[in-house]
Amino acid sequence: MTEAVFEPMNAVARMNRLRWRCACRPLHEVDTLLGNFLEKKFHELTPEQQEEFIALAEMEDEELWPLIMGRKPCRDAAQAEVVSLLKNAKIG
């Protein structure tokens, strides 16, 4: 699963919390994008990318959606990389 990011004893609980955070969003487009990406692509990310994805998932929709739509610049290269992966993921 994601042992590189999560401690083994807490891996299931942390992953469940992340699933909930990705799926229970006010903006349907964000919950669909994050939830599908989490289930289909998260395991392919490096540990650093996983941490950045988690940070993005913790953002409020009004902060995150402009990043995804390219209306707001990313704070750094790591964030930009994961936002780009989100936008370009083929997860239909």
- Has residue 17 been placed in a domain? yes
Residue 36 domain flag: yes
Q: Is 2 among the domain residues?
A: no
DSSP states along 7-27:
-GGGHHHHHHHHHHHHHS-SS
For residue 35, the enclosing domain spans 8-88
Residue 67 is part of a domain; what is its CATH number? Answer: 1.10.150.250
- Domain for residue 3, yes or no? no
pLDDT in tens, 58-87: 999 999 999 999 999 999 999 999 999 999
Going by C-alpha positions, the residue among 70, 59, 50, 5 that lies closest to residue 31 is: 59
Instruction: Confirm whether 53 is domain-assigned.
Output: yes
What digits encode the pLDDT tens for the residues 26-47? Answer: 999 999 999 999 999 999 999 9
With beta carbons less than 8 A apart as the criterion, state whether 38 and 22 touch: yes
Place of tokens 């390219």: 70
1 in a structural domain: no
Whole-structure pTM value: 0.85
Structural domain total, the chain: 1
Contact 31, 25 (CB under 8 A): yes
